[in-house]
Amino acid sequence: MSKKFKAGDISDPYRVREGKRLKLEKFEPDDVGDYSGDDGKVRAEQRTASQLEELLRLQERLYAGQQNSVLIVLQAMDAGGKDGTIKHVFRGLNPQGVRVTSFKVPSSEEAGHDFLWRIHKEAPARGMMAVFNRSHYEDVLVTRVHGLIKDKEAQRRFEHIRNFESLLLERGTLVLKFFLYISKNEQANRLQARIDDPERRWKFSPADLEERKLWTEYHSAFEDALTETSSAQAPWFVVPANHKWYRNLAIVDALVAALEDLGPKLPPEPAGVDFTHLQVK
Protein backbone atom coordinates (compact mmCIF):
# COMPACT_ATOMS: atom_id res chain seq x y z
CA MET A 1 0.00 0.00 0.00
CA SER A 2 1.80 3.10 -1.13
CA LYS A 3 -1.22 5.34 -1.09
CA LYS A 4 -1.11 8.59 0.75
CA PHE A 5 -3.18 8.65 3.81
CA LYS A 6 -6.42 10.61 3.74
CA ALA A 7 -7.49 12.24 6.98
CA GLY A 8 -10.99 13.50 7.82
CA ASP A 9 -11.96 17.17 8.09
CA ILE A 10 -11.81 17.13 11.86
CA SER A 11 -8.53 15.25 12.27
CA ASP A 12 -6.54 16.66 9.37
CA PRO A 13 -5.29 19.79 11.19
CA TYR A 14 -3.66 17.50 13.75
CA ARG A 15 -1.70 15.41 11.27
CA VAL A 16 2.08 15.72 11.60
CA ARG A 17 3.38 16.68 8.17
CA GLU A 18 6.31 14.73 6.80
CA GLY A 19 9.64 16.48 6.58
CA LYS A 20 8.60 19.30 8.87
CA ARG A 21 9.94 19.60 12.41
CA LEU A 22 7.07 19.15 14.85
CA LYS A 23 6.66 21.75 17.56
CA LEU A 24 4.13 20.71 20.17
CA GLU A 25 3.64 24.31 21.27
CA LYS A 26 1.88 24.89 17.95
CA PHE A 27 -0.88 22.59 19.14
CA GLU A 28 -3.35 23.27 21.90
CA PRO A 29 -4.47 20.51 24.31
CA ASP A 30 -7.71 22.43 24.96
CA ASP A 31 -8.59 22.78 21.28
CA VAL A 32 -12.12 21.65 20.35
CA GLY A 33 -12.08 22.71 16.69
CA ASP A 34 -15.55 23.66 15.45
CA TYR A 35 -17.12 22.25 18.59
CA SER A 36 -16.85 25.24 20.92
CA GLY A 37 -19.80 26.91 22.60
CA ASP A 38 -22.43 25.66 25.02
CA ASP A 39 -23.66 22.93 22.72
CA GLY A 40 -20.18 21.88 21.54
CA LYS A 41 -19.96 18.77 23.66
CA VAL A 42 -23.46 17.57 22.72
CA ARG A 43 -22.80 18.16 19.03
CA ALA A 44 -19.47 16.35 19.26
CA GLU A 45 -21.03 13.38 21.03
CA GLN A 46 -23.78 13.14 18.41
CA ARG A 47 -21.25 13.22 15.61
CA THR A 48 -19.09 10.66 17.41
CA ALA A 49 -22.07 8.31 17.79
CA SER A 50 -22.87 8.43 14.07
CA GLN A 51 -19.21 8.06 13.11
CA LEU A 52 -18.93 5.03 15.40
CA GLU A 53 -21.78 3.37 13.50
CA GLU A 54 -19.94 4.06 10.28
CA LEU A 55 -16.74 2.66 11.78
CA LEU A 56 -18.57 -0.56 12.71
CA ARG A 57 -19.88 -0.91 9.15
CA LEU A 58 -16.38 -0.44 7.74
CA GLN A 59 -14.81 -2.78 10.28
CA GLU A 60 -17.26 -5.55 9.37
CA ARG A 61 -16.30 -5.17 5.72
CA LEU A 62 -12.62 -5.19 6.65
CA TYR A 63 -13.16 -8.38 8.63
CA ALA A 64 -15.26 -10.04 5.95
CA GLY A 65 -12.94 -9.08 3.12
CA GLN A 66 -9.76 -10.43 4.78
CA GLN A 67 -7.58 -8.27 2.54
CA ASN A 68 -6.30 -5.42 4.66
CA SER A 69 -5.73 -4.69 8.32
CA VAL A 70 -5.39 -1.63 10.55
CA LEU A 71 -2.86 -0.82 13.23
CA ILE A 72 -3.70 1.95 15.68
CA VAL A 73 -0.91 3.17 17.95
CA LEU A 74 -1.81 5.14 21.08
CA GLN A 75 0.86 7.06 22.97
CA ALA A 76 0.50 9.71 25.65
CA MET A 77 1.90 11.03 28.89
CA ASP A 78 0.57 9.23 31.98
CA ALA A 79 -3.17 9.84 32.41
CA GLY A 80 -3.30 11.08 28.83
CA GLY A 81 -6.39 9.01 28.03
CA LYS A 82 -5.18 5.87 26.24
CA ASP A 83 -7.44 3.57 28.26
CA GLY A 84 -10.42 5.91 27.91
CA THR A 85 -9.91 6.10 24.16
CA ILE A 86 -9.91 2.33 23.91
CA LYS A 87 -13.05 2.09 26.01
CA HIS A 88 -14.97 4.71 24.05
CA VAL A 89 -13.77 4.42 20.48
CA PHE A 90 -13.50 0.65 20.14
CA ARG A 91 -16.37 -0.59 22.26
CA GLY A 92 -18.91 -0.52 19.46
CA LEU A 93 -16.90 -2.74 17.16
CA ASN A 94 -17.14 -6.46 16.53
CA PRO A 95 -14.78 -7.93 19.17
CA GLN A 96 -13.87 -10.80 16.86
CA GLY A 97 -12.07 -8.37 14.63
CA VAL A 98 -10.24 -6.23 17.19
CA ARG A 99 -7.30 -7.00 19.40
CA VAL A 100 -5.88 -4.65 22.02
CA THR A 101 -2.32 -5.10 23.25
CA SER A 102 -0.84 -3.15 26.16
CA PHE A 103 2.93 -2.92 26.22
CA LYS A 104 4.53 -2.73 29.65
CA VAL A 105 8.16 -2.70 30.78
CA PRO A 106 9.71 -5.51 28.70
CA SER A 107 9.92 -8.91 30.42
CA SER A 108 13.36 -10.48 30.63
CA GLU A 109 12.50 -12.64 27.62
CA GLU A 110 11.38 -9.59 25.62
CA ALA A 111 14.43 -7.60 26.71
CA GLY A 112 16.61 -10.40 25.40
CA HIS A 113 15.47 -9.64 21.84
CA ASP A 114 15.52 -6.63 19.55
CA PHE A 115 12.92 -4.00 20.46
CA LEU A 116 10.57 -4.88 17.60
CA TRP A 117 10.38 -8.59 18.41
CA ARG A 118 7.47 -8.37 20.84
CA ILE A 119 5.74 -5.77 18.66
CA HIS A 120 5.76 -7.59 15.35
CA LYS A 121 3.98 -10.61 16.85
CA GLU A 122 1.02 -8.39 17.73
CA ALA A 123 0.70 -6.74 14.32
CA PRO A 124 -2.77 -7.30 12.86
CA ALA A 125 -3.48 -10.23 10.56
CA ARG A 126 -5.61 -9.61 7.46
CA GLY A 127 -9.12 -8.53 8.40
CA MET A 128 -8.12 -7.43 11.88
CA MET A 129 -7.74 -4.16 13.72
CA ALA A 130 -4.96 -4.03 16.30
CA VAL A 131 -4.83 -1.34 18.96
CA PHE A 132 -1.51 -0.75 20.70
CA ASN A 133 -1.76 0.79 24.17
CA ARG A 134 1.85 2.01 24.17
CA SER A 135 4.05 0.48 21.53
CA HIS A 136 7.49 0.28 19.93
CA TYR A 137 7.62 4.04 20.44
CA GLU A 138 8.31 3.50 24.14
CA ASP A 139 11.73 2.37 22.99
CA VAL A 140 12.51 5.87 21.71
CA LEU A 141 10.65 7.72 24.48
CA VAL A 142 10.98 6.39 28.04
CA THR A 143 14.35 4.82 27.24
CA ARG A 144 15.62 8.08 25.86
CA VAL A 145 14.31 10.28 28.63
CA HIS A 146 16.01 8.02 31.17
CA GLY A 147 19.29 8.02 29.27
CA LEU A 148 19.15 4.27 28.55
CA ILE A 149 19.96 4.89 24.90
CA LYS A 150 22.14 7.49 23.23
CA ASP A 151 20.98 9.83 20.46
CA LYS A 152 22.78 7.74 17.86
CA GLU A 153 20.92 4.63 18.95
CA ALA A 154 17.66 6.58 18.84
CA GLN A 155 18.40 7.56 15.23
CA ARG A 156 19.00 3.92 14.34
CA ARG A 157 15.75 2.95 16.00
CA PHE A 158 13.83 5.61 14.06
CA GLU A 159 15.17 4.04 10.89
CA HIS A 160 14.11 0.57 12.06
CA ILE A 161 10.66 1.87 12.94
CA ARG A 162 10.23 3.50 9.53
CA ASN A 163 11.28 0.29 7.81
CA PHE A 164 9.07 -1.87 10.04
CA GLU A 165 6.03 0.26 9.36
CA SER A 166 6.81 0.24 5.62
CA LEU A 167 6.81 -3.54 5.75
CA LEU A 168 3.38 -3.52 7.37
CA LEU A 169 2.10 -1.06 4.77
CA GLU A 170 3.44 -3.20 1.98
CA ARG A 171 1.41 -6.09 3.32
CA GLY A 172 -1.79 -4.03 3.34
CA THR A 173 -1.84 -2.71 6.89
CA LEU A 174 -3.03 0.84 7.48
CA VAL A 175 -0.92 2.45 10.18
CA LEU A 176 -2.36 5.31 12.25
CA LYS A 177 -0.60 6.79 15.22
CA PHE A 178 -2.11 9.08 17.84
CA PHE A 179 -0.34 11.17 20.44
CA LEU A 180 -3.00 12.16 22.97
CA TYR A 181 -1.93 15.64 23.92
CA ILE A 182 -2.90 16.84 27.40
CA SER A 183 -1.61 19.85 29.31
CA LYS A 184 0.48 19.55 32.43
CA ASN A 185 -2.40 21.00 34.46
CA GLU A 186 -4.81 18.44 33.09
CA GLN A 187 -2.38 15.67 34.01
CA ALA A 188 -2.25 17.04 37.57
CA ASN A 189 -6.07 16.99 37.75
CA ARG A 190 -6.29 13.45 36.45
CA LEU A 191 -3.56 12.08 38.70
CA GLN A 192 -5.16 13.82 41.68
CA ALA A 193 -8.51 12.25 40.79
CA ARG A 194 -6.82 8.84 40.84
CA ILE A 195 -5.40 9.59 44.27
CA ASP A 196 -8.68 10.89 45.69
CA ASP A 197 -11.07 8.26 44.30
CA PRO A 198 -10.66 4.79 45.84
CA GLU A 199 -12.24 3.29 42.68
CA ARG A 200 -9.39 4.66 40.61
CA ARG A 201 -6.42 4.20 42.90
CA TRP A 202 -5.42 0.97 41.20
CA LYS A 203 -4.41 3.06 38.20
CA PHE A 204 -2.10 5.27 40.19
CA SER A 205 1.59 4.58 40.42
CA PRO A 206 3.98 6.69 42.51
CA ALA A 207 6.28 6.47 39.49
CA ASP A 208 3.81 8.71 37.62
CA LEU A 209 4.87 11.60 39.86
CA GLU A 210 8.53 10.96 39.06
CA GLU A 211 7.83 10.83 35.32
CA ARG A 212 5.84 14.05 35.62
CA LYS A 213 9.04 15.83 36.67
CA LEU A 214 10.46 14.88 33.28
CA TRP A 215 7.59 16.52 31.38
CA THR A 216 9.84 18.72 29.22
CA GLU A 217 12.23 15.87 28.42
CA TYR A 218 9.30 13.67 27.38
CA HIS A 219 7.93 16.41 25.18
CA SER A 220 11.19 16.85 23.34
CA ALA A 221 11.48 13.06 22.92
CA PHE A 222 7.94 13.04 21.49
CA GLU A 223 8.79 15.90 19.14
CA ASP A 224 11.80 13.99 17.84
CA ALA A 225 9.98 10.67 17.48
CA LEU A 226 6.95 12.14 15.73
CA THR A 227 9.06 14.26 13.41
CA GLU A 228 11.19 11.27 12.44
CA THR A 229 8.39 8.76 11.93
CA SER A 230 5.36 10.61 10.61
CA SER A 231 4.90 10.02 6.92
CA ALA A 232 2.16 10.54 4.37
CA GLN A 233 1.48 6.79 4.51
CA ALA A 234 1.83 6.21 8.27
CA PRO A 235 0.95 9.53 9.88
CA TRP A 236 1.04 10.71 13.45
CA PHE A 237 -1.75 12.87 14.82
CA VAL A 238 -1.33 15.22 17.77
CA VAL A 239 -4.84 14.92 19.17
CA PRO A 240 -6.02 17.64 21.56
CA ALA A 241 -6.98 15.51 24.54
CA ASN A 242 -7.86 17.75 27.48
CA HIS A 243 -11.51 17.28 26.49
CA LYS A 244 -12.18 13.58 26.25
CA TRP A 245 -15.25 14.04 24.06
CA TYR A 246 -13.26 15.96 21.46
CA ARG A 247 -10.37 13.49 21.60
CA ASN A 248 -12.78 10.63 20.88
CA LEU A 249 -14.31 12.53 17.98
CA ALA A 250 -10.96 13.42 16.40
CA ILE A 251 -9.78 9.81 16.57
CA VAL A 252 -12.94 8.23 15.22
CA ASP A 253 -12.92 10.83 12.44
CA ALA A 254 -9.39 9.83 11.43
CA LEU A 255 -10.26 6.13 11.50
CA VAL A 256 -13.43 6.49 9.45
CA ALA A 257 -11.72 8.68 6.85
CA ALA A 258 -8.83 6.24 6.51
CA LEU A 259 -11.09 3.20 6.20
CA GLU A 260 -13.47 4.93 3.79
CA ASP A 261 -10.51 5.79 1.62
CA LEU A 262 -9.31 2.21 1.77
CA GLY A 263 -12.79 1.01 0.81
CA PRO A 264 -12.68 -2.56 2.11
CA LYS A 265 -14.59 -4.87 -0.22
CA LEU A 266 -16.87 -7.71 0.74
CA PRO A 267 -15.78 -11.13 -0.52
CA PRO A 268 -17.47 -12.33 -3.74
CA GLU A 269 -20.83 -14.09 -3.38
CA PRO A 270 -20.65 -17.88 -3.67
CA ALA A 271 -20.60 -18.77 -7.37
CA GLY A 272 -23.44 -20.65 -9.05
CA VAL A 273 -26.16 -19.60 -6.61
CA ASP A 274 -29.26 -17.85 -7.95
CA PHE A 275 -29.67 -15.40 -5.06
CA THR A 276 -32.61 -13.59 -6.68
CA HIS A 277 -34.90 -16.61 -6.75
CA LEU A 278 -33.53 -18.93 -4.10
CA GLN A 279 -36.11 -19.50 -1.31
CA VAL A 280 -35.39 -21.31 1.93
CA LYS A 281 -38.29 -23.76 2.50
**Binding of residue 142 to ligand AMP (CB under 6 A):** yes
Q: Rounded CA gap, 14 and 70, in Å?
A: 19
User: Which CB atom, from 15 or from 203, has the smaller least distance to ligand AMP?
Assistant: 203
Among 14, 80, 98, 139, binds ligand AMP (CB under 6 A): 139
- By three-state DSSP, how is residue 240 classified? strand
Residue span binding ligand AMP (CB under 6 A) among the ranges 34-42, 56-64, 65-73, 138-146: 138-146
Q: Does 160 interact with ligand AMP (rule: CB under 6 A)?
A: no
Kindly state the number of chain residues that form the binding site for ligand AMP, as judged by CB under 6 A: 9
User: For residues 45 and 117, which CB has a smaller minimum distance to ligand AMP in the complex?
Assistant: 117
Q: Rule CB under 6 A: say whether 105 interacts with ligand AMP.
A: yes
Torsional class of 128: left (φ above 0), alpha (ψ -120 to 50), beta (otherwise): beta
By residue count, the chain amounts to 281
Nearer residue to ligand AMP within complex by CB, 139 or 223: 139
Which position among 43, 134, 160, 244 is part of the footprint of ligand AMP (CB under 6 A)?
A: 134
138 binds ligand AMP per the rule CB under 6 A:
yes
- Window of 9-17, 30-38, 97-105, 122-130 that interacts with ligand AMP by CB under 6 A: 97-105
Looking at residue 15, the DSSP 8-state letter turns out to be B
CA angle 51, 171, 250 (to 5 degrees): 20
The packing angle between helices 244-262 and 82-89, to 10°, is 60
**101 part of the interface to ligand AMP, by CB under 6 A:** no
Helix spans in the chain (H) = 40-65, 82-89, 108-111, 117-120, 142-145, 151-170, 184-196, 206-212, 215-229, 244-262
Binding site for ligand AMP (CB under 6 A): 103-106, 134, 138-139, 142-143
